[in-house]
A and B are shown apart, each in its own frame.
Chain A
Amino acid sequence: MKKNEEFFFRRLTLNKILRKMKVTIILLLIGIMSSYAELYSRDAPISIDMQNGNLSDLFQIIEHNSEYKVYYKTSLIDETQTVNLTTDEMPVSEILALALADQNLTFDLSDKVIIITSAKEKANQPQTVTGTVTDGSTGEPLPGVTVQVKGILTGAITQVDGTYSVVISPDADTLIFSFVGYATEEIPINGRLVIDVVMEEEVTALEEVVVIGYGTQQRREISGSVTNVTPRSFNPGVTRTAIDLLQGRVAGLIITQASGDVTIQQSVRLRGQTSLTGSSEPFVVIDGIPGMDLNAIAPQDIKSISVLKDASAAAIYGSRSGSGVILITTKSGISNQSTIDYNGYVAFDVVMNKPDVLTAAEWRKYTADNGINTEGLDLGADTDWFGEIMRTGITHNHDLSYTGGGTNNSYRASVSYQQREGVVKDNYQERLNTRLTFTQKALNDRLNVTLTGSMNMRKYQPTETRNFVLSYNMIPVAPVKFDDGTWFDSLEYDQGNPVRNIEYNKRLNKNNIYYVNLKADLNIFRGLNAGINVLREGKTTDNALYNHSETEQGRNDQGFAQRTSSNSDRRLLETTINYVNTFNVHKVTVLGGYSYEDNYSKNFRAQNRLFVTDLLGYDDLASGENLLTGDVTSGGSMYKLISFFGRINYSLLERYIITATVRRDGSSKFGKNNKWGTFPSASVAWRLSDEPFMRYLNFLSELKLRVGYGVAGNQDGISPYNSMELYGSSGVYYDEGDWHTAYVVSQNANPDLKWEQTAMFNIGLDYSIMQGRLNGTFEYYDKRTSDLLYNYSVPVPPYLYSSMLANVGIMQNKGIEILINGDIIRNPNMRWNVSVNLAHNKNEILSLSSEEFTTTSIKTGNAWVRGGSYNTTHIVEEGKQVGQFYGWSCTGLDADGLYIMDDMVDGEPGLTDDDRTYIGKAQPKLTYGITNSFTYKNFELSFFLRGVYGGDVLNYSKMSYATTQWLPGANVLYDALTIGLEENPKYNSFYLDKGSYLRMQNLSIAYNLNTNVLGFNSFRFYFTGQNLLTITKYKGVDPEISMSGLDPGVEGRNYYPKSRTYTFGVNVSF
């Protein structure tokens, strides 16, 4: 049977390609992939020209021209019956099918053996089974799927609309649906005449086309470290941006939700932190447009996401790819086919965990037990201040898309609307993403033009985190409002009514991103294509704020109003030339390109205070009576980036693959002595499984060893003009009764300023065994980032300022990533797939000094507790990781409630700053994700666990509020009564907890309705729960906290608690 399958494999490859051609934009692939198909099939077709022969002759010819042996009982063969057969390059199986068709014979093909048997008598009339085949992830119909009756080679292929019709004999019991890139489905017939099938993409298929920088490659051809994620593996439930889809799914891509605020984006780190100053966020490319904002795309429009993990893959993006690259590909239209898809859901958010502050009863018990006079303080109320500022948040989401097209064109239009409420009452976000893509072919399909327009609007109110601080401090015996309806308020330090703040103060932020993108691709001659990519993008923000004169936030200014707006215009032009050719066993792809980009930004802010009335809010700034110097500001900036890049791929026998890239980037942000940087990379891959000596290992479908090295850059830490000596305005000076603007040199100029440079070595092994039932990847990397940007200390004088942005330090990240993916059960009715990914990363700072700059350590992070200014939490030091906690080491509290501190670190008794030491590490040792998905008939169940092992968390609220000394006038954590601290809270290791956790990130149950009844293409109901369960020893609110910057791992006292989300939704396609 093996050979037969391969035969189908080959034909189906071509079918897939034909479909792709309609679907996608890349004409280029035709050439590459059809030549692949030829190479891949081992069932070499043979040509026969036989006149007046018989079957024995035919079998001899077959044995002669192929590797098959034919076995048959001679009694079965009628030697007298003549056979006339002429075929041109036809596979053996087809030849046999033709020859045996009218002789009541049939055959079985196994590995190198053909057995001829007698066909059974057909007692009854054959029947026709019909149905529709759809794609499980998109719900779109699948054309070109082979439908085969099990045991018989004849079958059918689905039409453009996914329908098929196949004639079966009465004894047929099973239909086989197969399509390259999808998991083969075997469906029992059970007497049905209509059988609809949903097919799932086979992620591990070697033919999977993966988007890489400036092009695509088949999975098998890739020599760098690239992870591709398709909708089947996206996180279900409420998603704000594309990055939500990936959390926990990609080994080494650490996505942290540092806050429950629905307007705040997750922080993303790929293979560790690589910068002291810049964001370390991966570079985002959407449909080939570099440098995009994640808010510029709705999650529903995404077809696939590629993560370029190592520098050999990422270096094609040069000076912006040092932290990795995320490539997002969107869905596009399909020729000759129209579909309407709707996805809608409602979700409910309920807070997961709140700070445990004293209740009114606990407060009263404490004051009574300690004989504290509470007259005047205890107003008889019982207020849960955190409860008062929170609610159940409701989210609506509606995604609608329409695709269609003619023979030479296709289009897709989509609208995605989401309105989301946070669990804190002032927190919401409303977003609208719309997108229209139109593709037209011309010049005999040699020119392919795609025009995309997109409009993305966001209106949101981030939470005022000050209200969390107030909720900690406000005493529970004070009411929100008095009985007569007037507000209670407090003027004490860090106190004020947070409910009043939320109800009266307004923040309205608007953020719009518009862009239009034109791509054209011209096939000049066979194998040579030229492409052009033009973008015009505009972004605007408009933030408005009003603090009401009676609230804690506005009372100081007697009303404070502010408007901030900014806009930026980006222009991009890229041209590429691409050449592909195959010479026998050699395949070469060459890419060359040029890119120009500029960006102009303007910003403006105005604010005023002391308003006669609060009624006008931020809409009439002029009516404020206290406009001060500096209340109106504006500014502008621009930058340019010019690049040349190239790539060569060479593959020999599809076994030995070499890729080399180079990019040369020039940026206006760099200092005048370092305007241009070069970023080279190279990688090789060896597909061992295709070696002749490995062929005997039948269980092995793929084994590939990859090694790569590359150099990428990061210029995120540099703002325009950072390198220059400029005069900037700096307040006012008094001259003869008037105030005039003063100008000062605004920074220490650094003409040597340049990118941070990341050099990375990567070695990986891809494996797939038992027809892909078990597959995965092992990877090891070692990356070294040098020329780290930081505001290093310099002496004053001679310098004007005590710090200067310069390229000095070196940092290393080393790690291992493991991916194991397996189908534990794979049968027609039931599937159970488990996927596990693990990543370990070790970060170390190797150097902070150079000849010119000497830095022994950087103490950073603010350990502010009431009365604890000028205290730092972290140290950045050679030989340590970013996130090294540094402070006093405390082993507990003594009988008097005083910290037992190690005061001998400096060798002398007495606790001083010199007794501070290394007390914890914020970075986890291991991050992991475990996906389980079950399919049983029409039901789907999946759940996803995500976890972190190792790493310490600073429980900042415990440090601030686990003390009784604020009682009775300010509230504290319940911990204050139990830990028995009797001195000023001080930052020390007492407040560091283990941050390991395992979280059920989501659980999803879906049911697919039998769609033929209702006339839909597909109809699916689902429920998803997010953040359902967390297992951790951490005692604070949540161990998942911000991991960005130089002081990660701190759960601050303004931490916004996260929520559990319950989503009910429906997908319809018609």
Chain B
Amino acid sequence: MKNLNKYMNLFIGLSLLFALGCTDLDEEIFDELSVEEYGKTDKEINSLIGPIWSDLRQYPDYYSTLEVSSDMSVTPTRKGGDWWDGGAYKEMRLHTWTPSNSRTRRVYRDLSSRISRCNQILFMVENSEGIEDKEPVIAQIRAARAFWYYVFVDNYGNVPLVTDFTDVSLPSTTPRKEVYEWVLSELNDIKDVIRDDVSSSSYGKFTKGAVYSILAKMYLNAMVWNPDGGPKWQECIDACDEVLNLPYSLVTNWKDNFIVKNEGSPEAILSVVYSLTSPWGIVRASLHYLDKIALELNMNASNGISAQPSYVKSFDPDDKRIGWSFLIGPMIDPATGNTIITAHNRPLIHTIDITMVYAFDAEGWGQTEQEDGVRCFKWEIPKGLSARGVESDVFIFRLADIYLMKAEAIVRSGGDNLEATALVNAIRERAFDDPAKLYTSVTLNDIYMERRFEFAWELMGRQDQIRFGTFLDPIPDWKPYVSNDRCLLFPIPTDVLDANSNLDQNPGY
């Protein structure tokens, strides 16, 4: 019996011990890091700032909104319905997009996230005790945030201006004018603080060159984005000159800007750095399923975005940038020497014309043959490529753009046409073998067209068209009418308005 009592006591004792002793619910964290504990050393802090540069990879992916709404490219619906996608691309082409359009929604939501992240990183750096010289770091972050707001001002105009990460109240819409002025003041604040080196160390980061490039864009588009503020042509020229004074130079061989190892290009001002792990997808989206046979690739392509026929036809046939930018003509199977045959039993020939056949709807939209349309061929696609895109970096700003912006500002402000002509010819001479193709003097239209030839697929189309007043114009064979002028700004997506009732829709939607 004594024994039994002992057991009983032990039993009850144990039970009580566990019952009373262990109520601790603390977690151990393994593969993530506590916000309180991480971010003490330089290396750790760099890893937290790094996203502001890697986030730039999102920007070129806006092509399906920024490119496809311009008259330089189109994503037609292919026979069988590929790329119909609820009419998202048709709306981009016909300028009939609504606040629920998936393409404009994607850009808005991405821009919002980029800005929130900049605010969070800025807050983290400002409160960090581990950083000795915060000023250049903060300048990087503010430049990134100003860049994203620059894209916002351009595409959406009236957006919430949020700069304080700790303020969790629901923001209201800030008028385009105020956002515009804020971006200018931010850029002017940091232009003398930010690093000014043009080196492998500053590659892919925000530098003085990048900040002045954004400034030049802001000034060049001032009459569109903030007409009340009046023209800023001289400011634009000055900003361009600041960039021109930096050690950038035009590459002799134009194609060097688009090769796999293009990070050495002296023309690059603000670069999006890609790798095989995170490649750029436009080529993959554009090529036909069977182009891989002709190009000897392993990559699966999806037969999407093509060049708008009227745009391709506007090129001078001698302009080498046609061949450098577009994949045109019959696709040959290297094994047989014959033209490849598609599943619809048609030869795989990328024609410039994109013909709408089958099932026309009331708005004239239909399906096109699978192989119609010339494809994006600007960035190098090495044989055997198996990644989800190409590895070449994409330059958001490159020196050629500065040349043409300055030329445009000079012409618009009635400046020295000779200087403008020289700037344009510097770009143009790389594309022609025949010096006779160079200009002796340039008109605004010459500059507009030169921009279009130079920057195929480089997401300049929409902004340039709006500035030159051609964005709403009819598009031959595709859009017979002048678009509603609400299209100059994209709508605020429906679900964004649902989540924040303080926001206002853009006019006309």
Contacts and interface: CB of A to CB of B under 8 A. Distances in A.
Contacts of A216: none
B31 A742 contact: no
A635 B31 CA distance: 5
Contacts of A573: 18
Contacts of A744: 48, 51, 117
A642 B117 contact: no
How large, as a class, is the contact surface on chain A?
35 or more
B22 interface: yes
A372 B302 CA distance: 25
A802 interface: yes
B249 interface: no
Given A532-B14, A795-B500, A796-B116, A642 B25 contact: yes
B343 A969 contact: yes
A735 B501 CA distance: 40
Contacts of B48: 727, 742-744
Contacts of A374: 345
A797 B160 contact: yes
Given A446-B4, A556-B300, A733 B51 contact: yes
Interface stretch (B275-283, B324-332, B405-413): B275-283
A558 B298 contact: yes
B416 interface: no
Given A675-B25, A742-B47, A867 B80 contact: yes
A984 B81 contact: yes
Contacts of B7: 443, 447, 522
Interface string A886-910: 0000000000000000000000001
A869 B86 contact: yes
A852 to B, nearest CB: 10
A642 B15 contact: no
B15 A726 contact: no
A854 B15 contact: no
A406 interface: no
A491 B333 CA distance: 13
Nearest to B43: A740
A522 B4 CA distance: 10
Given A793-B498, A800-B113, A745 B84 contact: no
Interface in B135-179: 160, 162, 165, 167-171
A738 B83 CA distance: 37
Contact of B18 (A492, A596, A634, A666): A596
B32 A913 contact: no
Which of B14, B25, B48, B165 is the most central at the interface, judged by chain A CB atoms within 10 Å of its CB? B25
Interface stretch (A87-95, A205-213, A622-630, A989-997): A622-630
Nearest to A641: B25
A333 to B, nearest CB: 24
Contact of A867 (B26, B84, B109): B84
Contact of B275 (A524, A732, A799, A856): A732
Interface in A409-448: 443, 446-447
B100 A522 contact: no
A796 B113 contact: yes
B128 interface: no
Interface in A659-711: 666-668, 675
B88 to A, nearest CB: 6
Contacts of A626: 276, 386
A983 B343 CA distance: 19
A65 B353 CA distance: 112
Nearest to A631: B277
A868 B275 contact: no
B436 interface: no
B98 A638 contact: no
Contacts of A636: 30-31
A866 B78 CA distance: 10
A555 interface: yes
Contact of A727 (B35, B98, B200): B35
A522 B359 contact: no
Contact of A726 (B14, B32, B77, B289): B32
Contacts of B303: 493
B345 A798 contact: no
B344 interface: yes
Contacts of B50: 732-733, 735, 740-743
Interface residues of B, number: 101
A966 interface: yes
Nearest to A796: B112
B289 A491 contact: yes
Interface string A498-536: 000000000000000000000010101000001010000
Nearest to B54: A733
Given A635-B31, A746-B32, A799 B116 contact: yes
A130 interface: no
A871 B119 CA distance: 33
Which of B47, B203, B276, B362 is the most central at the interface, judged by chain A CB atoms within 10 Å of its CB? B47
A666 B26 CA distance: 11
B120 interface: yes
Contact of B82 (A640, A867, A910): A867
A31 interface: no
Contact of A866 (B34, B80, B102, B204): B80
A766 B209 CA distance: 82
Contact of A721 (B27, B292, B293, B503): B27
A644 interface: yes
A796 B500 CA distance: 9
Contact of B165 (A667, A798, A802): A798
A737 B271 CA distance: 13
A146 B86 CA distance: 75
Given A733-B51, A745-B120, A800-B120, A557 B11 contact: no
Contacts of B481: none
Interface in B40-63: 44, 46-48, 50-51, 53-54
A596 B24 CA distance: 10
B335 interface: no
Interface in A592-645: 594, 596, 602, 609-610, 626, 628-630, 634-640, 642, 644
A830 interface: no
A982 interface: yes
Contact of A720 (B27, B112, B162): B27
Interface string A957-972: 0000001011011100
A871 B86 contact: yes
A730 interface: yes
A667 B25 contact: yes
A735 B48 CA distance: 13
B345 A969 contact: yes
Nearest to B117: A800
Interface in A782-834: 793-802
Contact of B54 (A644, A721, A724, A731): A731
Given A530-B11, A596-B18, A733-B53, A798 B171 contact: yes
Contacts of A725: 35
A637 B499 contact: no
A970 B345 CA distance: 11
Nearest to B204: A734
A483 interface: no
A726 B29 contact: yes
A102 B3 CA distance: 54
A912 B88 CA distance: 12
Given A630-B277, A724-B29, A798-B116, 6 more contacts: A443-B7, A493-B82, A644-B19, A668-B26, A727-B38, A913-B98
4 tightest A-B CB contacts, nearest first: A969-B343, A867-B81, A636-B30, A733-B50
10 contacts: A522-B7, A532-B14, A596-B18, A626-B386, A642-B23, A726-B33, A728-B31, A733-B204, A867-B85, A982-B359
Interface of A: 372-377, 443, 446-447, 490-493, 495, 520, 522, 524, 530, 532, 555-558, 573, 575, 577, 594, 596, 602, 609-610, 626, 628-630, 634-640, 642, 644, 666-668, 675, 720-721, 724-728, 730-737, 739-746, 793-802, 854-856, 865-871, 910, 912-913, 963, 965-966, 968-970, 982-985
